[in-house]
Amino acid sequence: MYDPYSEFIKHVLPNGLEVHSVFWDRPWIGMEIVVHSGGREDPVAMPGLAHYVEHMVSCNIPNREFDQVKEFFETCGGKAEFGSTGYLSTRYKFGVPADLTTFREALTIFGLMLLGAQLKKDVEKERKIIFREFNGRYPFLEKLDWDMDIRKALFKGHRLETWNRPLGRPEGFLSASEGDLQGFYDQYYVPANISLVIIGGLPTEEVIAELEKSPWGMKKSGTRNQIPRPFGPLTIPTEQRKTVKLSDYVSFKVDMTEYNAKWAFPAGFHQQARRVFDQVLGKILFDEIREKRELAYSIGSGYTDFHDVCEYEINGRISPDATPYIDELVRKCISMVPSRRDLFDRKLKSCMQKCLMIDLSGSDLADISAGDLVSDHRIIPMQEVWDELQKVTFEQMAEAVALLSSERQYTFITCP
């Protein structure tokens, strides 16, 4: 089995920085950076602090102006992404030609930015930008209330109960001070709490030597955020359904119903069984709601991993005429899963065949591997995925259906 994920060499620098690298004979080299802190680490009273710090670091690169940095990557034909914040991590990346001089400068830029910055410049400018970003996501504050209602209903007693998204809320980013920003940065932007994924045309020995000589080799005390134990037992939501008329909040005409059903899903459920289940249910939803009844252009399912708990979701935009009975129809689709052995066999075989058909670009491999480091703190070889798929059973589909029971479901509907 071709398994590019198994080719990485892991190296830990003396300062605790974790490096996963692989040599590909290419004229480029790329690096993904995972800071193992995100929205989860926001102080409860200051939601959005991690995202605010992400905005600030690129404005405060020591001895570099941001326009000069962008020009450097553009001129060499490379690329750089200066941050995206999630619940579990904050990620950065760059790609440059595989020559030592260029690579050395890219290492210096990102090393200084993420380990040696003082977050003093453009504090108010970025605060305004974030506020505009917030207003784009929440054009009216009731929409924020709806998000928070879902979290409170599903995740009582968990950190997610007080978290809406990495963007945060005005009481957080409007009150954050320079000291709050620097304090978060100094606590979490430390070598021990960072993982690197490096792929490209420089030998691993040279890459490690350059890292040790660069700002990435600096000593900075700190610890890594660990994966917590699975959260449980999951509680039954006190409120299970909410329907709102969107026309009460917006002036433009609305002619579609948005359906969203969510469940708190245990993190300990077999990961590959969950993957197969999701594909089976997704196909049933598509067939029953779009193809057979023509009630939606698209409706689907998916899950978000929050380390110690997952969130499972079914959503779609449907015909307003279906609003009164869409929930009943979705429940019917869920109940069909344990009777569809044919579909289970097909989807399981498809997942296994995908293990044999890997055809990744370097950037895809780096991105997926960095995602493994976010969720599992290690890069998962394809052979392990294959082995886990072989353990998936049809009986697990019924177990997953039980976890999506109606009493654990929170349904949120916006209609015209």
Structure confidence by residue, pLDDT tens digits, 206-224: 999 999 999 999 999 999 9
Domain range for residue 291?
A: 241-415
Query: Could you tell me if 76 and 179 lie in one domain?
Result: yes
Query: Could you tell me if 320 and 198 lie in one domain?
Result: no
Query: Could you tell me if 60 and 168 lie in one domain?
Result: yes
309 and 265 Cβ atoms separated by less than 8 Å = yes
The pLDDT, as a whole number, for residue 59 is: 95
Residue 234: inside a domain: no
pLDDT level of residue 397 (50, 70, 90 thresholds): very high
pLDDT in tens, 195-208: 999 999 999 999 99
- Give the domain CATH number at 285: 3.30.830.10
Query: Could you tell me if 35 and 109 lie in one domain?
Result: yes
Query: Could you tell me if 189 and 278 lie in one domain?
Result: no
pLDDT level of residue 185 (50, 70, 90 thresholds): very high
Query: Could you tell me if 296 and 396 lie in one domain?
Result: yes
Query: Could you tell me if 190 and 328 lie in one domain?
Result: no
Whether 16 has a pLDDT exceeding 90, the answer reads: yes
Query: Could you tell me if 269 and 380 lie in one domain?
Result: yes
Sign of CA dihedral 405, 406, 409, 411: positive
Residue 224: inside a domain: no
Residue 192: inside a domain: yes
Query: Could you tell me if 259 and 182 lie in one domain?
Result: no
Query: Could you tell me if 316 and 408 lie in one domain?
Result: yes
Query: Could you tell me if 46 and 114 lie in one domain?
Result: yes
Number of domains in the chain: 2
Q: What's the pTM value of the predicted model, to 2 decimals?
A: 0.95
Whether 148 has a pLDDT exceeding 90, the answer reads: yes
pLDDT in tens, 293-334: 999 988 999 999 999 999 999 999 999 999 999 999 999 999
The pLDDT, as a whole number, for residue 44 is: 96
Query: Could you tell me if 297 and 369 lie in one domain?
Result: yes
Residue 229: inside a domain: no
Residue 235: inside a domain: no
Q: 233: cis peptide before it, omega within 30°?
A: yes
